[in-house]
Amino acid sequence: MSSQFTLRALLAGAALLIAPLATASTLPNPAADAPLATNHGSSKAVLAGGCFWGLQAVFQHVKGVTHVTAGYSGGSADTASYETVSEGNTGHAESVEVTYDPAQVTFGTLLKVYFEIAHDPTELNRQGPDTGTQYRSAIFFAAPEQQKVAQDYIAQLDAAKAFPKPIVTRVVPLKAFYAAEAYHQDYATLHPNQPYIAYYDLPKVANLQKEMPELYVAPVTN
């Protein structure tokens, strides 16, 4: 267990004494989103926004998502390990690769979950107690269509003043995604009583069920 891993648990314990942050109000649907595909298939979205435990936990409950992998994106293969990424100077961000059926859920809908439920897109290089560029908010697009939907949605949300501060989420090309170590996969599902998970991540899953019940499903098992 790294010092960063230990600090995360300690901060979570201390955070139990603090009132939870208010969640954002319900966001509009992305105006530039593509329609659902006419045929079933498999597409991927790579998203970063704080600790990958919480991101994975949220997207595992989204209808149409078939698999979610915690990992790293933004840096090179030789630095794609938890101990190294935690130093904060690898270029990597803790990320998730979301595999989904575009006939059941669109990329834009995934972004709505990402912005409204999964993290706070107005925090620069941090989420909650986690600080550093490895916790930055970023959308790694794999195709021009993903880039357009993401950039247009950010502009739409900023124009509507959907958040009290401007969105700082970066929209950048996907170079590669590297799966994290096995002990990070399904972490929230396997450790629901861990203080960090109980305080920061399970409330996000509960918010998904409350705010977007039409999207909420039993968790995808990886």
Query: Beta-carbon neighbour count of residue 79 at 10 Å?
Result: 17
In the prediction, which pLDDT does 222 show? 62
In the prediction, which pLDDT does 23 show? 45
In the prediction, which pLDDT does 219 show? 80
CATH 1.10.150.120 fits 35-211, yes or no: no
Predicted confidence (pLDDT) at residue 62 exceeds the cutoff of 80: yes
Q: What is the mean pLDDT of the chain?
A: 91
Name the β-bridge partners of 68: 98
Q: Which residue among 12, 45, 51, 110 is the active-site one?
A: 51
Q: How confident is the model at residue 168 (pLDDT cuts 50, 70, 90)?
A: very high
The full set of domain ranges for the chain reads 35-211
Predicted confidence (pLDDT) at residue 6 exceeds the cutoff of 50: no
Return the percentage of the chain with pLDDT > 90, whole number: 86
Q: What is the pLDDT of residues 172-211, one digit of tens each?
A: 999 999 999 999 999 999 999 999 999 999 999 999 999 9
Q: Is 213 a catalytic residue?
A: no
Q: What is the pLDDT of residues 93-135, one digit of tens each?
A: 999 999 999 999 999 999 999 999 999 999 999 999 999 999 9
Q: How confident is the model at residue 5 (pLDDT cuts 50, 70, 90)?
A: low
Compute the half-sphere exposure of residue 113: CA atoms within 13 Å on the CB side of its CA.
33
In the prediction, which pLDDT does 218 show? 87
Return the percentage of the chain with pLDDT > 70, whole number: 87
What's the rounded mean pLDDT across residues 148-160?
A: 98
The more confident residue out of 22 and 136 is: 136
